[in-house]
Amino acid sequence: MPSKKALVRRPSPRLAEGLVTHIEREKVDVDLAMEQWEAYTEALRVHGWETVEVEPADDCPDSVFVEDTVVMFRNVALITRPGAESRRAETAGVEEAVAALGCSVNWVWEPGTLDGGDVLKVGDTIYVGRGGRTNAAGVQQVRAAFEPLGARVVAVPVSKVLHLKSAVTALPDGTVIGHIPKVDRPALFPRFLSVPEEAGGHVVLLGGHKLMISASAPKTAELLADLGHEPVVVDISEFEKLEGCVTCLSVRMRELYA
């Protein structure tokens, strides 16, 4: 039985100072964000995931977006070098957490930059978004880390949104989903389904047919239910004001070797 552990990180009291790049800044309600984070982590637990909390990083406003700091492939954790300098201090605590879980740890080195939000795994294919946060050296370092383990790395241009996974994610059957106006090159994906809302392009696979999806994508949730999936809806409005999506609030680990 594969392990089902999910790394999460409690929001910083400075969350409202988080970075905003592609959208207008809106006031973040930190108390509401805390409630939404509790509900998000509870939804993971209800669906069989053991949540593992990374030591909080109270001085790092964006630290709740833990996905950006580490990329997992099998038992190997690649600690990123986030594209935004203000986020680099987030990785130390994550490194400790994955090492404590028995992962083999690897690092992205200067001049490479990589945000985990730019990495979408579909089976053994790893799509890496080359955009505002991930550079060419970062893409090459993902190749060097994971191709020897059997992955195939496919680089994908990203210009319209923060990260590759702000544009597309994948269903359990491998179909890539996204809202066309936000996807640079849908033709790069062998099977692509267009969804009616931007936030509808973001799902977290919980196991079986269950998919976590944001409350801001009701039409997509309906479309996915009609295709035989089981949407699990969570409200993450306060994180969306900071360009976060359902994927970025956790790192799911299925193949720990412990």
Binding segment toward ligand CIR, per CB under 6 A, in 31-39, 147-155, 220-228, 237-245: 237-245
Binding segment toward ligand CIR, per CB under 6 A, in 38-46, 184-192, 211-219, 239-247: 239-247
Q: Where are the beta strands (DSSP E) in the chain?
A: 5-8, 50-53, 70-73, 76-79, 104-107, 119-122, 125-130, 152-157, 168-170, 176-178, 192-194, 204-207, 210-214, 230-234, 251-253
Q: Which residues, in sequence order, are bridge partners of residue 120?
A: 127
117 interacts with ligand CIR by CB under 6 A: yes
Q: How far is the CB of 158 from ligand CIR (least distance, A)?
A: 12
Give the DSSP H or E segment for 39.
helix 30-46
- Helix/strand/coil for 87: helix
Residue of 3, 14, 17, 19 that binds ligand CIR (CB under 6 A)? 19
Question: Which CB sits closer to ligand CIR, 88 or 143?
Answer: 88
65 interacts with ligand CIR by CB under 6 A: yes
242 interacts with ligand CIR by CB under 6 A: yes
Catalytic position from the list 103, 163, 202, 245: 163
Torsion of CA 118, 120, 126, 131, to 10 degrees: -20
Binding site for ligand CIR (CB under 6 A): 18-19, 21, 62, 65, 67-68, 84, 87, 117, 162-163, 165-166, 242-245, 248
